[in-house]
């Protein structure tokens, strides 16, 4: 006798949570590798990206099986549709962590504490952890209030990204010997801004499956 669809939906939810935890760990290790200029840790992030990709493929297959064999309706249908998109967003965040790790392997010199502080790159990463953690809690608990709280914090990441070009030019003028480092940090900032975008997309999907609303084209996101 086949298990009820509720069991398969719960199994799918647990798989997504496990992938979430792995992606979060990848991002944390990428941050630690930047702060400590730890190339071995950066290599570990790159190697483990294969696990993230494997999770994505497994979750996609499980979603397809539920569609094919269970024909979900109502909230179960919305949940599986949301998971497909959340899965893709998480995989992209994993790609970003890998990209940051590659920058560390490509540069020959560590990043100065002054550069890390003035660029606000570590502040951006901390906010990324915050929104990623809150998105996970919102997903686990079907908490749309918490999901909505992510939108404003994403604006913080956008603001730093918008000012990063001017900051980079000024820092290069004042510290021409750190040209390579500032260019890599500038690139990292651009990547972190995309983490905010991906997490905002995740929040929208959580609200969609819980409230049956689509916010992607709602400008005020109320």
**DSSP, residue by residue, 53-114:** HHHHHHHHHHHHHHHHHH---HHHHHHHHHHHHHHHHHHHHHHHHHHHHHHHHH-SSPPPHH
Residue 116's Cβ-side half-sphere holds a number of Cα atoms within 13 Å equal to 14
Give CA separation, 20 vs 42, 50, 91, 102, 152, in Å: 19, 14, 9, 21, 21
Give the model's pLDDT for residue 147: 96
State the Cα–Cα distance between residues 156 and 22, nearest whole angstrom. Answer: 25
Task: Tell the CATH superfamily of the 5-211 domain.
Answer: Phosphate transport system protein phou homolog 2; domain 2 (1.20.58.220)
40 is written with which tokens?
């071995």
Give the pLDDT confidence score for residue 108 in this predicted structure. 87
DSSP conformation class of 217:
T
Q: What is the pLDDT of residue 138?
A: 97
Report the sign of the C-alpha dihedral through residues 30, 194, 47, 21, in that order.
Answer: positive
Query: How much is the pLDDT for 119?
Result: 96
Q: Which residue in 35, 190, 206 sits closest to 136, CA to CA?
A: 206
Alpha carbons 156 and 137: distance in angstroms, whole number: 21
Model confidence, pTM:
0.90
- Which residues of the chain are under the pLDDT cut of 50? 1, 221-222
């Amino acid at each position: 006798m086949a298990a009820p669809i509720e069991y398969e939906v719960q199994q799918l939810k647990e798989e997504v949570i496990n992938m979430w935890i792995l992606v979060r760990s990848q991002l944390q290790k990428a941050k630690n590798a930047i702060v400590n200029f730890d190339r071995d840790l950066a290599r570990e992030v790159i190697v483990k990206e294969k696990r993230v990709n494997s999770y994505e493929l497994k979750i996609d297959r499980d979603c397809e099986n539920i569609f094919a064999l269970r024909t979900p309706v109502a909230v179960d249908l919305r949940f599986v549709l949301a998971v497909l998109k959340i899965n893709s967003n998480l995989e992209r965040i994993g790609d970003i962590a890998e990209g940051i790790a590659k920058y560390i392997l490509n540069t020959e010199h560590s990043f100065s504490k002054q550069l890390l502080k003035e660029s606000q790159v570590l502040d951006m990463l901390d906010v990324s952890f915050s929104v990623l953690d809150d998105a996970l809690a919102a997903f686990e608990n079907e908490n749309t209030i918490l999901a909505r709280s992510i939108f404003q914090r994403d604006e913080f990441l956008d603001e730093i990204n918008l000012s990063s070009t001017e900051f980079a030019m000024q820092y290069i003028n004042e510290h021409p010997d750190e040209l390579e480092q500032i260019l890599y940090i500038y690139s990292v900032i651009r990547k972190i801004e995309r983490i905010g975008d991906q997490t905002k997309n995740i929040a929208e999907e959580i609200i969609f499956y819980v409230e049956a609303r689509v916010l992607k084209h709602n400008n005020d996101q109320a």
